[in-house]
Structures are given as structure tokens and as C-alpha cells.
Structure 1
Amino acid sequence: MDQFVLNWLFIGASFALYIGIAIWARAGSTSEFYAAGRGVHPVVNGMATGADWMSAASFISMAGLIAFTGYDNSSFLMGWTGGYVLLALMLAPYLRKFGKYTVSEFIGDRFYSPTARLVAVICLIVASTTYVIGQMTGVGVAFGRFLEVDNTTGLLIGACVVFAYAVFGGMKGVTYTQVAQYVVLIVAYTIPAIFISLQLTGNPIPGLGLFGDHAASGEPLLAKLDQIVTELGFAAYTEHHADTLNMVLFTLSLMIGTAGLPHVIMRFFTVPTVASARWSAGWTLVFIALLYLTAPAVGAMARLNISEMMWPNGTDGEPVSVEMMENDARYDWMATWQKTGLLGWEDKNGDGKIAYFNDKNADVKAKAEAAGWGSENELTNFNRDILVLANPEIANLPGWVIALVAAGGLAAALSTAAGLLLAISSAVSHDLIKGAINPSISEKGELLSARIAMAVAIVVATYLGLNPPGFAAQTVALAFGLAAASIFPALMMGIFSKVNNKGAVAGMLAGLIVTLIYIFLHKGWFFIPDTNRFDDADPLLGTIKSTSFGAVGALINFAVAFAVSKASEPIPAEIDELVESVRIPKGAGAAQAK
């Protein structure tokens, strides 16, 4: 069967499943729209949270960034996984015990201030909107290749699908849709990884194959990879990071940003008890680990495959010829991806070969010139977001595996996009409209406003997705930094300190504003994003990049909040009692939902 038809069958079947589930689980009340009626089983919630959590950044982009940067980008794995543990232990049970629908509602009640609630809404919308851009970027990449449409058309199709199951289903529909999406994405991620691991190492478990031997050479896989990439002038795959401070801050930003992500926290409002929240957190870790333990192997093996394809006779031989690329079926995937504009090459010296090497490395450049391959790298464009999606084609796997990966990549992007859009719409309808503008609004009116807010958010996210500020994982990292600098400190201080309302508001504003300014300056955007948005300007503070600044923003948030709180009046007695009741269990047994 033709590959294009297979892609349509797999993707179409998955979309029909999602929409069918949404119709079956359509939200009929605000409780179902915001919290799925608080009746979701911990295992089901764990699977849904895993899908909500493992976005396009995890499925599509992360392995690509690891592949081309090496072990340094394993900080994505450490930060995201460590952050989820922090969320599960330090925040989720306490927020569930508080018994509200949204993060902003908790902040508004805990800090006894409509202003604090409004500021939290602003922080939430800024972080979630930045995050959802990364998901829409992933949707465009996947659709552009597998349905052979342009990026704009792909985004519009994806937006329509999200609209169909998120606007009407709310949290109830999204929850059960995300369960299906988790199954699709984890199967789609692991099956190609198993095939590729068997091909390269003979081991069916990718994580073990990564530390095994390369079947063709008999050398350790990582040693073989290091040898090839260093001979091409690139840094060794296992090379130690050069900037410890930036790596530590980046990992910390991802960790605390994770713990402050409202769309993930909202998932813990859907279970019936605090004990269920703890259990669902544990199950989520299990489901996340299945992908995150596989990603480093996927990145390393894909980088090895690409290098060997570009130098089929080894780095002491000849680079791949244009004739081979045009006539050998192993290279068909390159021609297909070239049509999307995400992969490109050019025979610059007209020798009929495509030389792939680091032309910034003087020694390798001199070697290439002496061999007559020219002085410039001729693989001119390789978007890192395509790596996981292209992996089955690179490894020459069956067509059904390629189609399955397409469905998995879209499932990852759409599941997280739905969660983020639900967080945005909940903040607008429940916290802004009901909480500030029209407190007397009816339940029916609030439900309608939530759906309208969701629709508007989808339109805005689609528009911004057409002009992303970086690769999917890089854009997501910016969102984590914003959540780290604004929402996480407020949640931590709300549970574990006696900071007052003035301190909380001042801290959130300081953290958000300083981090936004730093990101805009470091990315070179100023007031209008320029065409070089994927490249950073020189850091303004030492070597700290925009994706790492969230940890600094969080410290500023904490410092300002405590300073302002100390200089103003203490919290009221009833709020003091509320904080104690949330943090310290009273009586025997599990605390029940309100």
C-alpha cells in the first residue's frame, strides 16, 4: 500500500478515535469541564497525565536535540523528570486537598486577594501560550511531512481536531482522549526504537543497546559514535559540558518550571481524594519513564545512522554522491523531507558529492579541501525536530511503522495542546470572568464562556505556531522558565510559608517581568521578533541563556515576595489557619475532597 495512504489511514483512525471519545465523554457541567467530575481513577489519570506531560517537545524534538548536541542535552530529561517528582511530592497532594478547580483560584484564595488571582491568570496565560506554540510547531512539522501539506495547512487541520474534542469535551473529554493518545504515542515511540536497536546492536531494549556494542564494527556503540562525529569535526557525543553554571540553571529551570505548569497541576484536581492524587503521581512516573528511558538511545542511534549514510564508505572514504542520493532507495526519505523545507543540501563545489562535516573546525576543513570536497558543509539544513519522525525511514522500517510514528507525533502534540488550552480557557472563564468580571454568572453561562475562551485560545495558538521562536523543545524550555519564575514560587510560598498578599503579587510580577525582558533581549527580539529568532544574542548575565534564566527569575520572585511581605502586615488569622490545615493533616485517614 502507498505510504501516503497508510499515513492517512493511521492518522485518520486516531483522529476519529479522539473525536469519538470526546463525544462520548462530553462535559455537561462546569465540574466536568474543569475537573472531569473529580472521579478519574489514579491509573487512568496517570496515563492521561503522561500524555499531557509528554508533548511534542518530548516526542518529536527532545531526541533530536540530544542527537545533535550530545549528552549535554540530557538535561532535558533530568530537568523534566526531576521536576515532575518535585511536583508530585511537594505540590500536587496539597493543592488537591485545597479542593479548587484552577491554580489561579488557589493563589487568589490563599493570598486572600483578587489581584493575586488576576496576576496568576496573567502568568498562567503567558507561560501556557508560550508552551502551546511548541506543540503547534510539532503539529506543523508532522503534518507537513506525512500528509504532504504545507505547514500552515497542517496547523489548521490540527487546530480543527483539537477544537472538535477539547471545546466540547472539556477536562472530561480531554482526560479519556489523552489515555488513547498515550497508548498511541508510546507504541509509536518504542516500536521504531526497538527495530533500530536490533539493527545496530542486536539488543531489543534500546536503553541497553545504547551501552552495548555496535553490531557492524564490534566496538561499543557510543565509542563508535564519538569516533565518527569527532572525525567530522563535531564535538564528541559523550563530551562533558563546557558551561556548568548554565547547565545547572537550565536543569533547575526545567525542574521548577515543571512543578509550576498549570495544565499538569490541573490533572491532580480530577481524582477523588488526596491519596488518589499521590497514587496517580506514581503511575504517571511509570508511564513517563517508558519514553524517557528510551529517548537517549533514539538520539544516539539516529545520529550514528545519519553520519554513516552521509559517509557510506567511512570518514576516510568518500562522502555520499548526488547520484546515490537520487537513485538509492535508502535516501528516499531525504528527498521527501526536502519538500517540507526542513532538510536541505547543495553541491556547492559541483563535484557530484554532498560533503557533511563541521566547516567551523579548521583541521577538518583543511582535510576536506585537500581531498577535493570543498571548504563548506553541504548538508545545509537539518531541522532537529524531524529526527524522530524521520527515524523509521532512515532505518528503512516498514511503511506501517512510519505511519504509526506520524500518528504518535501528532498524538503527543495534540494531547498537550489540549491540556494547555484547557488551562488557558479555565483561567479566563473561571478566574477572570466568574472570579472578577461577573461573579453571579450562571453555570450554563460559565460553561459557554469556557468554550468560547477555548476556541479563541486555539485561534491565537495556531497563529503563533506559524512563527515559533525556536525548535519545539527550545520554545517549551522558554515556557518552563516563565512558569518557574512566576507560578512555582507562589505555589511553594502559598503552601509552606506565611507570605502575605502584597508579597505574592510583587514576587510574581517581578519574576515574570524580569524573565520576559531577559528572554526578549537574549533572543534579540526587542519589540518585534526578527528572522533570526532561532539564534541567541550574547547573554546579558555571564553565560546564562534565556532558557536557563527561569531559575534566576524564581530567586528574584522569592526574594521580592519575602522582602515585601516582611515590610507589610502579617497574614490574617483565618489564612494562617487555612495554610496549616492544607499542609498538616488533621485526624486519621485520608483527607477527602470538599
Structure 2
Amino acid sequence: MDLQTTIYLVVGLSFSLYIGIAFWARAGSTSEFYVAGGGVGPRINGMATAADWMSAASFISMAGLISNMGYGGGLFLMGWTGGYVLLALLLAPYLRKFGKFTVPQFIGDRYYSKSASTVAVICLLTASLTYVIGQMTGVGVAFSRFLGVSSETGIYVGMGIVFLYAVLGGMKGITYTQVVQYVVLIFAYTVPAIFISMHLTGNPIPQLGLGSDLVGTDVSLLQKLDSIVVDLGFGQYTTTTAGSTLNMFVYTFSLMIGTAGLPHVIMRFFTVPTVAAARSSAGWALVFIAILYTTAPAVAAMAKYNLISTVNTAVATNGDLYAPEASLEAAKQPDWMNRWEKTGLLKFEDKNGDGRIQYYNDKTKNQAVLDKAAAAGWKGNELSVNADIIVLANPEIALLPNWVIALVAAGGLAAALSTAAGLLLAISSAISHDLVKGVFNPNISEKGELMAGKIAMSLSIIVAGYLGLNPPGFAAGTVALAFGIAASSLFPAIMMGIFSKKMNKEGAIAGMLAGLLITLFYVFAHKGLFFIKGTDYLDLIGGPNSFFGITPEAFGGVGAMINFMVAFVVDKFTKEPPEHIQHLVESVRTPRGSKAVDGAHA
């Protein structure tokens, strides 16, 4: 069976399964639509949470980012997994004990204010819509390469699939669909990694293969990779950092608290029956996520090694990356590159007409590298590779069987669609439950609210599709920006709502608005989204990364600190919360069955 037929078969079967589950698990009440009836077991919820969490960013982009950045890309692993520890310890059990459907509902009730709930909805929509752009873009990338259609057509198909299982099933349908999607994506991620690790190092466990010697040598994979990239004029793979140490710290911090503040992830902990189950499901989610996250560094390093070895034939001949005598026949463009060029995510331009692909850092100041390149007839870097193709193209680069390539196609689509569904449910719940029922029509019937939820979901899918088809100028960094927005706006309000019984509505509202607006301004000043002629907003903030060298993707951590400071300052000058709210906060934090300690002997 040829490759294209195999891909159609595997992807078609996975889609049929998702839609079948949606019909089986249709939501018949608002409780089933928002929180799957609140009866999902911790293991099932942990698996669904892992699929909800491991988006196109985790499956498609993360290993690509680590592959490009080297050691510095580790901040994504530390930030995103660290965020789940925060969720498990500081948020999930208390939010489940509070017993609400959505994050804005928690904030509205905790801060005894519809205004606070409305501001939370604005923050939620801003973060979720920013995040969903990346998911729809991932759907387009996967479809365009593997199903032989344009990315636009791919997005339309993806919209249709999500509509069928998200609108019909709500959280109930999404939960069980995400369990299947987790199985698909984790096999799609680990199976190629096992093949490639075995081929390169002889070790079938990728996590161990990363530190093992290459087959037939006494040189480790990482040592060889360091040597190659330095020869190409790049920094050492194992030591290169993402900007300054401060920026790496703030970036990691932003991803951590952004993870803990993302509404579509938090909503998953409202679906379990008890507080203990919420904590347990967070633990299970970490286990399921760790399978992919501990594999990602190996996938990144092996993909980079395979990519350079494939496109630079001198590596495969005599080890000299710039050897002019390398044969043109051996150096011709591989078939996998021809296929990926059609997507626009990989570009090769033979600038010197020698038939070889010359790929290295043309910004290097290493004169020895430049001299070698000149001797090989270099006329400029000839290859451009988008980080998003590293995982998807890896099996093709390594010449793995067709069924493995098809499995990766299904996994990439499962990752993007599962997170898109979770985000869209968070968006529709905020609109139908927190705005329609909570603000505009408190007396709406359950049937009317369920219909409002489905209409909001349908409209959200249309908006998400439009953003995927017409992404704004900052689309490349949308995932990190979404975490920054959640970190700077929602996380502090949730934390203070649980752990500060004196925090009042004025402080929470002021903090959320301050954190959100300062983060958006810093981001948009860098990304050029202010459409006022003659105004350069970078000048207003002192130039690129002017705040202590912090990049816009990392600025959410700064926004969160501003949120906390503004909230506590405003709180000091305004009236404290009512007594019943303070008692509510205490009861949420107090374990059931505990008694006050008075020092007396029993």
C-alpha cells in the first residue's frame, strides 16, 4: 500500500472513531455539557487532561523548538510540566471543592461581583482565542502535508470534525474523545522515536538513547551533534541558552503560572466527583504527559542530527561538512524535502548552482567556518526549515515505514484537535454560562442554556477557523503569548481568591486589568499591531526587549507580578470582603473533618 493511501486510511479511521464516540456520549444536560456530569474517574480524566494539554504546540512544535534552540529549549519542558505541579498542589483540589463549572464563575462568586466575572471572561477569551490560532494553524500544517490538500482546506475539515464531536458531546463527548486522542498521539510520538533511537544508538528507549553512543562509534549522540553544529557556525547544542539567564527564568515562570491559569485545563478538574479525585487526576495527567515530555529532547536531538546528515552529504561521506568533492548525485535533494517544500515550511534555493545543499549559520562570526564555506563555493545559506515540521517530517527523514508516517499524521491531528476542542468549550462556556446566564439572563432555563452553549460553541468554531485562515502578525508566537496572557491575568486572581481571604473585588478587578493590559501593550509594541500611522510603539518602551532584556513571549511573568502588586495596593485602600466571603475562603482551604487545634489533650 502506498504512503498516501496508508495516511488516508489511518487518519480516516481515527476521525470515524472520534465522531462515533461523540454520538455515543452526547450531552443531554448543562452539567454534562460543561463538566461531563462531574463523574469522570481520575485515570480517565488524567488521560483526557493530558490530551487536552498536549496541543499542536507540544506534539508538533516543542521538539522543533528544542531542536532549533538546543539546551535553551528546555525552558518549555520545565515551564509546562512545572505548571502542572502548581495545578496539582495549589489550584485543582480547592477549585473542585468550590464546586463551580467555570473559572469566571469561581472568580465572580469568590469576589462577589458580576463585574469581576465579566473581566475574567474577557481575560479568558483573550488567552483562549490567542491559543486556538496555533491549534488551527497546526491542523492546517498537518492536513496540507499529509492529505495533499491546501492548509485552508485542512482548516475547514478540522472545523467540521471539531463541530461534530464538540457541539454534540460537550465536555462529556470531548472527554472520551480525548482519551482516544491521547492513545493515538502518544503512540504516534513514541513509536518513531523508538525506531530512530534504535537505528542511531542501538538503544530502543529514546530517553536513554539521547545519552548513548552512536552505533559503531565511541562518540555519544550529543557530542557528535555539538561538533556538527559548531562546524556549521552555530552555538553548542548542549549549552546554548534562550537570551539572558533572567529571560530564561522569567520565561519559565510565565509558562508555569500560565499553565496553571489556562481555563481549558482548569475546567478538567471540575469533571471529577471529589476533591481527592481532582488531586489524583492531576497526578495521573503528569504521568501521561511525562511520557511525551521526557521523549521530546531525544526526538529533538535525533531529528536535528538526521536533518543535517541528510541535507549535508559531506557528513555521510567523509565527515567534512564543506568538502567540495562531495558527489552531486549523493547531494541531490531528498524526496522528503520535495514533499515538504509544497507546504512552504521548507525552502531550498541552490544559490551557487552546484546541486548541493549548503546549510549553516550565515550570521556566524567564526572566520574558520566562513573560510571553509567559501572554499566550497558558498554564496549564502540555501536551506530554511520551519521548526513546526521537525516532528512531522522526522519519520520521513529517517526513512521509516509508511504506517509510521501515517501514525504521525494522525497523532499531529489528534493533538491539535483535542486542544482546540477544549479551548472552544472553555470559550463557549464563558459566553453561555458566565455571560448569558450569569449576567444577561439569570432565569434562563437549563434547556435554553444548553442551546446557548451549543450556539456559542458553533460561533467559536467559526471564529477559530477564521483566525486560523487569517492569522494575525504575531501568529508564530501565539502559544507562548497565550500562556503569558493567562499568567498575567487569571492566575493571580485565582491564587489570591484561594489563599487571601482579605482580597476584595476592587483589588482583583484592578489586578486582572493591569496585568492583562501591560502584557498586551508590551507584546503588541513588539509585534506591530497598533495601527496608528507614524507611531512606533517600540520607541515608547525603549526598543526591543527593553525591559531588562525580557522577550514579549516571556513578559507574562512580569505582568503577573504587576497584577499581584496592583491588587494588593488597591485592596489596602478599599473595603475588605464581607464576612461570609471570608468564611467561604477558609472553608475551601480547610480539609473535610478537620478540627481547630486548641492545645488541649484529648
Partner of 1:253: 254
One-letter identity of the residue aligned with 2:323: E
Moved more, 309-318 or 92-101: 309-318
In structure 2, which of residues 370, 373, 377 is the aligned counterpart of residue 366 of structure 1?
A: 370
CA–CA distance in structure 2, aligned partners of residues 469 and 382 of structure 1: 21
CA–CA distance in structure 2, aligned partners of residues 473 and 83 of structure 1: 22
1:11-410 equivalent positions in 2, closer than 5 A: 11-241=11-241, 242-314=243-315, 316=320, 317-318=322-323, 323-324=329-330, 331-362=334-365, 363=367, 366-379=370-383, 381-410=384-413
SS at match of 1:70: helix
SS at match of 2:266: helix
8 Å contact kept, 1:33–1:172: yes
**Following TM superposition, by how much is the alpha carbon of 1:238 offset from its aligned partner in structure 2, in angstroms?**
0.6
**Following TM superposition, by how much is the alpha carbon of 1:364 offset from its aligned partner in structure 2, in angstroms?**
5.3
**Following TM superposition, by how much is the alpha carbon of 1:367 offset from its aligned partner in structure 2, in angstroms?**
2.0
- The yes-or-no answer on 1:512 pairing with 2:516 is yes
Moved more, 497-506 or 358-367: 358-367
8 Å contact kept, 2:123–2:486: yes
**Residues 139/472 of structure 1: CA separation in 2 closer, same or farther (3 Å cut):** farther
**Residues 386/403 of structure 1: CA separation in 2 closer, same or farther (3 Å cut):** same
CA–CA distance in structure 2, aligned partners of residues 469 and 284 of structure 1: 32
- The yes-or-no answer on 1:503 pairing with 2:504 is no
In structure 1, which of residues 451, 454, 459 is the aligned counterpart of residue 454 of structure 2?
A: 451
8 Å contact kept, 1:112–1:501: yes
Moved more, 103-112 or 358-367: 358-367
**Following TM superposition, by how much is the alpha carbon of 1:360 offset from its aligned partner in structure 2, in angstroms?**
1.0
CA–CA distance in structure 1, aligned partners of residues 343 and 532 of structure 2: 26
Partner of 1:568: 574
CA–CA distance in structure 1, aligned partners of residues 219 and 75 of structure 2: 27
8 Å contact kept, 2:424–2:461: yes
CA–CA distance in structure 2, aligned partners of residues 318 and 481 of structure 1: 46
**Residues 284/174 of structure 1: CA separation in 2 closer, same or farther (3 Å cut):** same
Deviations 1:536-594 (A, max 9, x none): x72131211111100100011001111111100111001011000101124269xxxxx
CA–CA distance in structure 2, aligned partners of residues 232 and 484 of structure 1: 38
Deviations 1:380-412 (A, max 9, x none): x21110110001001000000000000000000
**Following TM superposition, by how much is the alpha carbon of 1:235 offset from its aligned partner in structure 2, in angstroms?**
1.1
8 Å contact kept, 2:332–2:355: no
SS at match of 1:344: strand
Deviations 1:226-254 (A, max 9, x none): 00000000111011425101000000000
8 Å contact kept, 1:325–1:332: no
SS at match of 1:313: helix
SS at match of 2:323: coil
Deviations 1:195-225 (A, max 9, x none): 0000110000001000111114330110000
1:419-458 equivalent positions in 2, closer than 5 A: 419-458=422-461
**Following TM superposition, by how much is the alpha carbon of 1:432 offset from its aligned partner in structure 2, in angstroms?**
0.3
SS at match of 1:40: coil
Deviations 1:283-329 (A, max 9, x none): 111100000000000000000011111222225253777654657xx
SS at match of 1:26: coil
One-letter identity of the residue aligned with 2:274: T
**Following TM superposition, by how much is the alpha carbon of 1:2 offset from its aligned partner in structure 2, in angstroms?**
1.5
**RMSD between aligned alpha carbons?**
1.8
CA–CA distance in structure 2, aligned partners of residues 218 and 179 of structure 1: 42
Deviations 1:62-87 (A, max 9, x none): 00010011010110000000001101
CA–CA distance in structure 2, aligned partners of residues 482 and 203 of structure 1: 41
CA–CA distance in structure 2, aligned partners of residues 411 and 275 of structure 1: 29
In structure 2, which of residues 481, 486, 499 is the aligned counterpart of residue 478 of structure 1?
A: 481
Q: Percent identity?
A: 66
8 Å contact kept, 1:35–1:270: yes
One-letter identity of the residue aligned with 1:174: I
Partner of 1:592: none
CA–CA distance in structure 1, aligned partners of residues 434 and 186 of structure 2: 34
CA–CA distance in structure 2, aligned partners of residues 586 and 67 of structure 1: 47
8 Å contact kept, 2:313–2:331: no
CA–CA distance in structure 1, aligned partners of residues 67 and 240 of structure 2: 15
TM-score (norm 2): 0.93
**Following TM superposition, by how much is the alpha carbon of 1:359 offset from its aligned partner in structure 2, in angstroms?**
1.0
Partner of 2:589: 583
CA–CA distance in structure 1, aligned partners of residues 475 and 200 of structure 2: 28
8 Å contact kept, 1:47–1:287: yes
CA–CA distance in structure 2, aligned partners of residues 309 and 354 of structure 1: 10
Deviations 1:6-29 (A, max 9, x none): 111111100000000000000000
CA–CA distance in structure 2, aligned partners of residues 118 and 486 of structure 1: 13
CA–CA distance in structure 2, aligned partners of residues 470 and 181 of structure 1: 30
One-letter identity of the residue aligned with 2:442: P
CA–CA distance in structure 2, aligned partners of residues 373 and 365 of structure 1: 13
Partner of 2:598: none
Deviations 1:487-543 (A, max 9, x none): 0000000000021000100000000011011110122332399xxxxxxx7213121
One-letter identity of the residue aligned with 1:69: M
Moved more, 407-416 or 370-379: 370-379
**Following TM superposition, by how much is the alpha carbon of 1:372 offset from its aligned partner in structure 2, in angstroms?**
3.5
TM-score (norm 1): 0.95
8 Å contact kept, 2:11–2:410: yes
8 Å contact kept, 2:331–2:355: no
Moved more, 158-167 or 361-370: 361-370
Deviations 1:31-59 (A, max 9, x none): 00000000101100000000001000000
8 Å contact kept, 1:56–1:472: no
One-letter identity of the residue aligned with 1:41: G
One-letter identity of the residue aligned with 2:419: T
One-letter identity of the residue aligned with 2:296: A
SS at match of 2:428: helix
Partner of 1:534: none
